[in-house]
Structure 1
Amino acid sequence: MIMPPANPFLLLGVIIIIIIVLYLVLRFLSKTSLLYILKKWWRLLEDSCFVYQFYKVPQFNEHMQENQLYRKVSTYLNSLPFVEDSDYANLFSGNKSNEINVVLDSNQVVTDTFLSARVYWKNEKCEPNGSIALVLKIRRNDKRRILRPYLQNILTVFDEIEQRGKEIKLFVNAEAEPQKNGRWRSIPFTHPSTIDTVTMDADLKNKVKSDLESFLKSKQYYHRLGRVWKRSYLLCGPSGTGKSSFVAGMAKFLCYDVYDIDLSKVSDDSDLKMLLLQTTNKSMIVIEDLDRYLSEKSTAVSLSGILNFMDGILSCCGEERVMVFTMNSKDHVDPTVLRPGRIDVHVQFPLCDFPAFKTLANSYLGLKEHKLFPQVEEIFQTGASLSPAEIGEIMISNRNSPSRALKSVITALQTNGDGRGSSKMSQSASGRAVEEAGESGSFFCRESVHSVREFRKLYGLLRMRSSRKESVDLDSVEKEN
């Protein structure tokens, strides 16, 4: 019996009807809880095919002391996007005004994946004492492969979350008082400056940022070398060149607390050691205007006390610390203070030159070009200069009129800036060509060295000519006599 050929239009119509029916069914399931129920049944069926192992992380130990691992795992789980997919979750306000935290509720399960393996966490409430525990459910086949790396990953992520959400504090040392415990007084560190907002050479700024990033990731490297995990920086330059703002930017970049030591309130070398012992890890220790204390002897701390503070045994009692010292000039500082090991990185902050001026004009006035720029550049080329703080203040005072601001800068350079830049030309060049030298990571400038040598040669030639002229004059005077 020969079947009649199928009608292609009828077959196409049936396929279209089936597609429409499937679409409507999926649409219906997505709008109801049936799809969720089907997923749950499928998960139960899948779980029945595997053998699981469970690990409990209790909130308290047998002595009712808080389990630090519980706090770290809880912070990690609450940062996962899967928490929002749980049946119940708690909403809490965060540290910031517009921040909302989603926290896993009790007896709820959250799913996580690591190295292509799926794990489950349950926030379980223990009935006898009402304590809470986090229970990890992991396939036995995946246990040896991912358990320890997974837990280590949780600790790493927790440290990153802690650093991002940490409120930076500024600690200042007070004079010793018997009725008060501790020497440090803290306030919230709310300085608005960042490394990016500081006016300085872009290459130098990137080198410092790269050095800080490398330091943060070098714990194992330092330990392998048998060295303490710390780094020291010297910020050197005239007043108003941005050293203090750069310190604030470094603290924000690292998310470190700042310990600002006032040497005038330190009674002796032992007192300085006690202050160092009371600082914490992951902190920045700052001593400003160190050259003034060393030259004027305005502190009871001796030179050997400062040297021991910089690289003595006590300085090795903490880890992940950054020491920052600021100076106006290194000319009258004992070379032993500046040697590698005590100072790892030297950063020069010069007076303002024309490229730095253009950066300030762009930031303060929104000017990238102006008809007065050539005149300003010509004045800078004569050797006149001001500090970035002085030029910035002029621009702030005249920010409503950029032309008036530039004219005021020109006037200030002609009156107050004459000759200031000529003695600092080697410093102004240091912002343009910077390189790392030696293992200490110090930032030095070849152009500044060449300019100093050329200046010395020129000065020597002038002296030779003047001495020859004086000798000729003396000979003529003797002949006349």
Structure 2
Amino acid sequence: MLLYNLIFLIILILFLFLLRILLFKTGLIYTVNKLWRITQDWCHVYQFLTIPELQNETFHHNPLYTKISLYLHSLSSIEDSDFTNLVNGKNENDIVLTLNPNQIIQDNFLGATVFWFNDSKLRTFVLKIRKVDKRRILRPYLHYILTVSDEIEEQGKRDLRLFMIDDGDRNQRWRSVPFTHPSTFETMAIETDLKNKIKSDLTSFLKAKQHYHRLGRVWKRSFLLYGPSGTGKSSFVAAMANFLKYDVYDTDLFRIQTDSNLKSLLLQTKPKSIIVIEDLDQFLHENEKTATKTSLSCSGLLNFMDGILSCEERVMVFTMRTKENIDPNFLRPGRVDIHINFPLCDFSTFKTMANNYLGVKEHKLFVKVKEIFEKGTSLSHAEISELMIVNRNSPSRAIKSIISVLEMDGDGRRRSGLIGRQGENDEYDDGDEGLRKLYRVISLKNSRGGSSSANNSGPLR
């Protein structure tokens, strides 16, 4: 009897083992289904339609690719895909499912079943649809995808991206990372009137597509942000991106090899994006000083600014430290719509920053700070914010530190009366190293034996 029970147990174990193999993904059922799909493909039951990210001949970005990507990642059937990626969403507690490269996802529309394949190497989506269903559902299906993706964008569910030039790609393409910069117009220490004017202008731009086209103009807007380093130009760009819900393209002119590369990069940008050209004045000065001109010409840059290539639904932002000695052709109306000056910090801006960083609207030391500012002495927003962050637990200590920096005298240090506002003729040297040493001295002095650290929410770059 015991022998029979043992034999029965062994047979049961073997049966369960074979059943597991049969039902497992790499087992018989999976293999049979795969062979069946291959047979159908071989018999031309299905037709395959490709949607590339870039159009082959012009390398122009294909907007349909972005729409389909938004749609596919919204499908509940992505959970049934063989492999999916789990990533964080906009908030740290949000978990988002994304389609794994080279995997198949199924969708149903008007009683027909279609399949999507994500070819990561070719950067394309492939739609697999039965020939008998194609004529009946293809156009309505694509219109449905566009409608759903537009709704996702309007609801603000699309994650913003920061694009940078990929040095590892010889054709110079973009690579992207999530754009998570927290800057908003509400957190910016700028005049309320200016802030409201910019928000109103951007809101009007979003609704002005038909108006621009009626005038025969490209639907784009361009800004020039100029002023000393550390005055908030990059944070302002981030605030614009978060306000518009636009992606950001960080365009480093020194890394672009030729006019052709610049055109190709511009064609690859997507609608609903901000194209940022930082330190334009430095590039122009270097181009003039260099005996051997760079391959990227000024005429190519002017064409870029004019929007001769496709720039629909885009905002262009150029940053400079100074507008002096810049060819007026680069700054004329039509190429640059709005000029915004970012000066060094004044007392009004200081009070706004004290409220944002320290939670202080009034303080007995404000009188002393105001006196120093009225003498023409000042610091950049970044310098003041750093001192406030380091001493954020003690508003009095933070304000005293700022007063000390403004009044400090000695070799290699700023002197009251000599720190004044940077004019248009000032040199490009920021003295950042001296400030870093000064911050370390103040931090050690005020920490009372402890050490304090803080994350610096710096500019985009």
Q: What TM-score does the superposition give when structure 1 sets the normalisation length?
A: 0.57
The residue aligned with 1:249 is 239
Could you tell me which residue of structure 2 aligns to residue 267 of structure 1?
Answer: 257
Letter in structure 1 aligned against 2:347: F
Q: What secondary structure, in the 3-state scheme, does the structure 2 residue paired with 1:165 have?
A: coil
The question of 1:407 aligning with 2:400 is answered yes
Equivalent residue in structure 2 for 1:310, among 283, 305, 316: 305
* Superposition map of 1:351-430 within 5 A: 351-415=344-408, 416=414, 418-422=417-421, 424=423
1:327-381 Cα deviation digits (max 9, x unpaired): 0110121111100010011111111000100011111111111111111111111
The 8 Å contact of residues 350 and 424 in structure 1, kept in 2 or not, is answered as no
Identity of aligned residues (%): 57
Distance of aligned partners of 1:123 and 1:190 in 2 relative to their CA distance in 1, 3 Å threshold:
same
1:217 aligns with 2:218: no
| RMSD, aligned α-carbons | 3.8
Q: Which structure carries more helix by proportion?
A: 1
Aligned mates of 2:114, 2:376 — CA distance in 1: 81
The residue number in structure 2 matching 1:173 is 165
| C-alpha separation in 1, matches of 2:144 and 2:165 | 37
What's the counterpart of residue 161 of structure 1?
A: 152
1:230 aligns with 2:220: yes
Residues 167-203 of structure 1 show CA distances to partners (whole Å, capped at 9, x for unaligned) of 111111134744xx65212111121222221211111
> Partners of 2:330 and 2:114 in 1: how far apart?
63
Question: Which amino acid counterpart does residue 324 of structure 1 have in structure 2?
Answer: V
Q: 1:424 offset after TM fit, Å?
A: 4.9
Q: The residue matched to 2:315 in structure 1 has which SS?
A: strand
Aligned residue number for residue 459 of structure 1: none
Query: Which amino acid in structure 2 is aligned with residue 418 of structure 1?
Result: G
| Alpha-carbon shift at residue 95 of structure 1 (Å) | 4.6
The answer for the alignment partner of 1:204 in structure 2 is 194
For residues 212 and 124 of structure 1, do their structure 2 counterparts lie closer, same or farther at Cα, with a shift above 3 Å needed?
same
One-letter amino acid of the counterpart of residue 344, structure 1: D
1:184 corresponds in structure 2 to 174
Paired with 1:220 and 1:237, the residues of 2 have a C-alpha distance of 34
Q: What are the superposed Cα offsets for residues 285-321 of structure 1, whole Å, 9 maximum, x if unpaired? A: 111011111112278222222111100522xx23101
- Does the CA contact (< 8 Å) of 1:351 and 1:424 recur in 2? no
Q: Structure 1 residues 334 and 401 mapped into 2: Cα distance closer, same or farther (>3 Å)?
A: same
The aligned counterpart of 2:448 is none
User: Does structure 1 residue 295 correspond to structure 2 residue 295?
Assistant: no
Residue aligned with 1:260, SS: strand
SS, match of residue 193 in structure 1: coil
Which protein has greater RCO, CA pairs closer than 8 Å, 6+ apart? 2
Which residue number in structure 2 is paired with residue 193 of structure 1? Answer: 183
Asked if the contact 2:344/2:422 (under 8 Å) is kept, the reply is no
> More deviation in 254-263 or 353-362?
254-263
Q: 1:100: Cα distance to partner?
A: 9.5
Q: 1:340 to 1:127 in 2, by over 3 A?
A: closer
Q: Could you say if the C-alpha distance between residues 403 and 99 of structure 1 is closer, same or farther in structure 2, counting changes exceeding 3 Å? A: closer
- 1:421, distance to aligned residue in structure 2 (A): 3.0
How far residue 123 of structure 1 moved from its aligned partner, in angstroms, is 8.0
Structure 2 stretches lacking a partner, 5+ long: 1-45, 52-63, 76-85, 97-107, 116-128, 134-142, 409-413, 425-461
The residue correspondences of 1:20-59 to structure 2 (distance < 5 A) are none
* Counterparts of residues 11-26 of structure 1 (less than 5 Å): none
Match in the other structure for 2:269: 279
2:359 counterpart letter in structure 1: G
Q: 391-400 or 188-197, which moves further after superposition?
A: 188-197
Alpha-carbon separation, structure 1, partners of 2:270 and 2:368 = 51
